[in-house]
A and B are shown apart, each in its own frame.
Chain A
Amino acid sequence: MWDSDATTFRWPWLALALGALVLLLLVLWLRPWRRPSRTGASYVAHAARLQSLPRYRTLVRRQVALGACLTLAALVACTGAVVLAGRLQQRQSMSQEERTRDIVLCLDASGSMAEVDADVLREFRTIISGLRGERIGLTIWSGAAITVFPLTDDYTYVLDQLNAAEKAFASGDVYSDEYAVFTAGTVLDWDVQSQMGDGLASCVQRFDRSDEDRSRAIVLASDNEPIGAGIFTVPDAAAFAREKKVVVHGIAAPATAERPDAAQQFEAAVTSTGGTFSVLGADGSTKAVIDAIASLDAKPIKRPPLVQVLDRPRLGTVVVGVGLAGLVAVWVAQAVLVLRDRRAGERR
């Protein structure tokens, strides 16, 4: 998924300067115009006689070969060093498209719903590991809605929060401290409780980035058994959700089935937004919701492509290594020849 560009030098000027320096040093070292300096030198005459000796020719040929190899190896090592100094880099870019969905868990925190909420949370916990790019939020409501955590893709945090919520709901004891602490603030007035219309509307408002074209879904768990009157009726809330293009998936508590009117209203509201409706306890109750969420249309989101620049030191290192190995090899060969000659001289 990373697209690789051509490798280039990070500091081409440095590579050029070093290359020029190497050339300059080479020229200075060879100095074809140079005459041997006389300082510190002693003169010897008739040394040209050496050139007629067969051993002289052997030695010169050997020296020329060794010198050529040595020079070549040194140049290779220098080239590698220059490449290393220039910092060979490869630019890689990744065009990222995120398919993103926002899901708000919208749980009725009234006492009768505790077990259902625990089930829903458990199911969600298992599928979070399979999510990528989605954002999850959790809102609980009864008479009033509170946000446990807003939409986020920090899954470790989400999992922590879901665990805590599940623990609070799973005790089943609505009078326990844990439950009371977790749901604190959802009941402002004991006469107004379990307002599904208000809860749904609040959850719809939890979606942010309204200017972005994202898939938005609410998993609404409730028994639709309101106490007192709320601000939004259930159909009003459903209409509000439709207006915001939020799909609402409903999970009804088993007890809802005993009240056909409430169940019907719940189902009608949910289906009107394009969501699914299921009753907990029936086969695959939460599974259906999760399948529905999985099939939810994920909108691709364009982000500026990610660019990473990687150093590619391998080429330079290998070249330097080859050069150094060559140098060592030539030196070893030289030492072997010298030792052989010395041994031959001792034998004589």
Chain B
Amino acid sequence: MTAHLTRIKSRLAIHAHRKVWGLLEGEYAAIHVGRGIDFNDLREYVRGDDVKDIDWKASARSRQLLVKRYVAERKHTVLLCVSTGRSMAALNDAAVAKRELAVLVSGVLGLLAVQHGDLVALVHGDEHRRHVERPGAGELHLERLLGTVHRAITPDGPHSDLPGLLRHVVRTIRRRTILVVVTDDVTLSEESTLLLRRLTAQHEVLFLTVGDLDPTRREVAGRRLVDVDADAEVPGWLRRDARLRAEFAALVDEEGQRMRRRLDQLGIAHEVVRDHDGAITAVFRLLERHRHARRR
């Protein structure tokens, strides 16, 4: 088992170092992870407050005793919520499986959190089983989580069930987290929408969709393709048709737009990870978008 984190780090290094850390700083501002001594606001002194906290200058200006309030120094938790149904075991493009991509984007977000000293937790599951991994710090913990995700995704496992997974999060996660949903669903059901609305009230929700391989693509025309959901072969004669290719592309496009509209309505920052090369860019774009959304 090669270390997932090592690979993720090497991929991160490809991007300009400055840009990465710049984004990281921005992200922190956005998600209100306090630095422990960040000044938040002033309030009137009440009996029992520490005299050391009194802001004398401000009290002199406003003629009432004011105490400084700081954001409590605490570690934020990044909760990776990965849908590990069998469809995740399919291909993302001609060479890379969606599984690798899910591990990659989870790893990038987890690594950013870990390097900042935050905790990373994991919820993953399919229609039959759901697991919660306790929050932990450090790269070793993250590596273990990524390994769990990687192992959980198999082509003969149960089907994916995003609403069930989200319901599990609602039921089991009490603390406030940065919830990173990594899924491969192409549509959002009514139930998922409701659950996501419920989750946005508690968490910072980031939504990452892993794209699917277009079975009509010319690159895979010579290969045998098995529909992992139906466990049936997608016949080759079907996939070579140009008109079908065009219609399928239009369908995928329409579904993507509908999904984007839904998530926009929910105010959830979201991004589609289309391929391996664009994965890290997509993650940063997601963080950027989330930061802007909060500053709005």
Contacts and interface: CB of A to CB of B under 8 A. Distances in A.
Contacts of B80: none
A135 to B, nearest CB: 77
Interface residues on A, range: 20 to 34
A53 B245 CA distance: 10
A55 B247 contact: yes
A219 to B, nearest CB: 87
The 3 closest A-B pairs by CB, nearest first: A345-B242, A45-B90, A45-B87
Contact of A45 (B229, B241, B252): B229
B135 interface: no
Contact of A53 (B86, B223, B244): B244
B212 A44 contact: yes
B293 interface: no
Interface string A24-57: 0000000000011010111111111110111110
Nearest to B214: A44
Nearest to A52: B251
A341 interface: yes
Given A42-B220, A42-B225, 11 more contacts: A41-B223, A42-B224, A47-B225, A47-B230, A48-B230, A49-B248, A50-B215, A55-B241, A59-B237, A341-B241, A344-B242
Contacts of B212: 44-46
A314 interface: no
Given A53-B251, A55-B247, A348-B246, A46 B241 contact: no
Interface residues of B, number: 41
A202 B231 CA distance: 102
A36 B227 CA distance: 10
A342 interface: yes
Interface in A1-45: 35-36, 38, 40-45
Nearest to A51: B230
A42 to B, nearest CB: 5
A45 B184 contact: yes
Nearest to B250: A53
B34 interface: no
A63 interface: yes
A166 to B, nearest CB: 85
Contacts of B215: 44, 47, 50
B251 A45 contact: no
Given A54-B247, A344-B242, A348-B242, A46 B87 contact: yes
Contacts of A47: 215, 225, 227, 229-230, 234
Interface string B75-86: 000000000001
7 contacts: A43-B97, A45-B184, A50-B238, A50-B244, A59-B244, A60-B238, A345-B243
